[in-house]
Amino acid sequence: MQRNLFCASAIACVMLSAISCKKDDTTTQPTVALSATSQTVSEAAGTASITITLPSAQSTDVTIKATLGGTAILNGDYQVSTDTTLTIAAGSTSAILTFEIFDDEVVESDKTINVTFSSSNATLSNSTASVTITDNDSDQSADGLVSELTWDAGSLADMDLYLANNVTITDNTVTDYNLLSGSTNTSGFESLLLSNDLDDADYYVLVYFAEGAREVTYTLTNRASGNTVYEDTYSFTADEVGGAYFYGPFTKSGTAYSIGKTANSVLWDVKLVEPHWHKGKIAK
Ligand SMILES: [Ca+2]
Ligand SMILES: [Ca+2]
Ligand SMILES: [Ca+2]
């Protein structure tokens, strides 16, 4: 019946025949395969990579573009060690996309790098791959006030955390302070502990913009005994490299911590002047 319907006329039969017998004369693109479409690595793994391969070498370069997304923060949780535009050179059969995974000390949920591949001169057997980064850090907030600093995706920025005491503020100007400790990794997020063993006193946490060439929006979270004591999200502008914001005072009484300024009030926003760590002026 179907044949009769389609071939209701001689002309239709000729057309159908021509279509079905038409030879595929488009140039056949090589098919690229991915080594791992779904992998899970520890934050301590150091690197993760995805290899793209051709079944046989080609006479011309094959180019594959990798677009990054997902919950993992570029240049916060990881950075890309290779170019995101990959080339399988003529005569070769593979290229590798490699990530450097940052092993920070911040307690966080597992995060995922989602990669979408595209190519104008190859067919992809799979166009997406994911790398799940599992956290390897444990909550230290039973040991004191934990300050954790994370920031937004973008070009590499180096942020550091410092703990200070003996902060003297006169006429809205920080006139003196004493640095106690610092968390100064060159990559990845920062974590600092104000230990329960320290003397009961007033302390300040400093968020320092050590290096970068962009606006950086960061989140500072402070936890003690499993509870959030204070959290703030704020931004450094690109030209504030070398500056720090003071948060506090955090008043320590045994294992209890309270912040002297209530949430949403103006904190001691200090733009430090050269040389670093001497005196600053309240910015607002
Ligand atoms: Ca870690
Ligand atoms: Ca971590
Ligand atoms: Ca740092």
154 with 265, same domain: the answer is yes
152 with 260, same domain: the answer is yes
CATH number for the domain that contains residue 128: 2.60.40.2030
- Ligand nearest 183 Cα, by number? 3
Q: Which domain holds residue 109?
A: 31-134
178 with 128, same domain: the answer is no
Give the per-residue pLDDT at 20: 43
CA distances from 150 to 105, 188, 222, 238 (A): 11, 8, 12, 17
Q: How far is the CA of 78 from the centre of ligand 2 (A)?
A: 11
For residue 16, tell me if it sits in a domain.
Answer: no
Q: Judge whether residue 92 has pLDDT over 50.
A: yes
For residue 278, tell me if it sits in a domain.
Answer: yes
Give the per-residue pLDDT at 271: 52
Q: How far is the CA of 104 from the centre of ligand 3 (A)?
A: 10
75 with 176, same domain: the answer is no
Higher pLDDT pick, 269 / 144: 144
Q: How far is the CA of 208 from the centre of ligand 1 (A)?
A: 21
Give the per-residue pLDDT at 177: 82
Q: Per the structure, how many domains does the chain have?
A: 2
Q: Judge whether residue 263 has pLDDT over 50.
A: no
**Residues 96, 81 contacting (CB under 8 angstroms):** no
HSE (side-chain half, CA atoms, 13 Å) at 161? 27
Q: How far is the CA of 76 from the centre of ligand 3 (A)?
A: 10
Mean pLDDT of 97-120: 97
Q: What would the pLDDT profile of 207-255 be if each residue is shown by its tens digit?
A: 989 999 999 999 999 999 999 999 989 898 998 888 888 888 899 999 9
Q: How far is the CA of 191 from the centre of ligand 2 (A)?
A: 9
- Ligand nearest 107 Cα, by number? 2
151 with 278, same domain: the answer is yes
Give the per-residue pLDDT at 19: 43
Q: Tell me the pLDDT of the chain averaged across its residues.
A: 85
172 with 88, same domain: the answer is no
- Domain final position from 73, 104, 134: 134
For residue 26, tell me if it sits in a domain.
Answer: no
Q: How far is the CA of 189 from the centre of ligand 3 (A)?
A: 7
126 with 249, same domain: the answer is no
Question: Would you state the structure tokens that stand for residue 210, as one six-digit string?
Answer: 């050590």
Mean pLDDT of 71-100: 97
Q: How far is the CA of 34 from the centre of ligand 2 (A)?
A: 28
For residue 247, tell me if it sits in a domain.
Answer: yes
82 with 169, same domain: the answer is no
130 with 166, same domain: the answer is no
Q: How far is the CA of 107 from the centre of ligand 1 (A)?
A: 8
158 with 277, same domain: the answer is yes
Q: How far is the CA of 220 from the centre of ligand 1 (A)?
A: 17
Question: Would you state the structure tokens that stand for residue 181, as one six-digit string?
Answer: 């400790």
CATH number for the domain that contains residue 261: 2.60.60
Q: How far is the CA of 218 from the centre of ligand 1 (A)?
A: 19
Question: Would you state the structure tokens that stand for residue 237, as one six-digit string?
Answer: 């502008």
Q: How far is the CA of 14 from the centre of ligand 1 (A)?
A: 69
245/283 Cα distance (integer angstroms): 9
Which residues lie near ion ligand 2 (Cβ < 5 Å)?
104, 106, 108, 135, 137
Give the per-residue pLDDT at 64: 97
151 with 268, same domain: the answer is yes
**What is the pTM for the complete model shown?**
0.82
Ranges 39-43, 50-54, 177-181, 273-277: which has the least confidence: 273-277
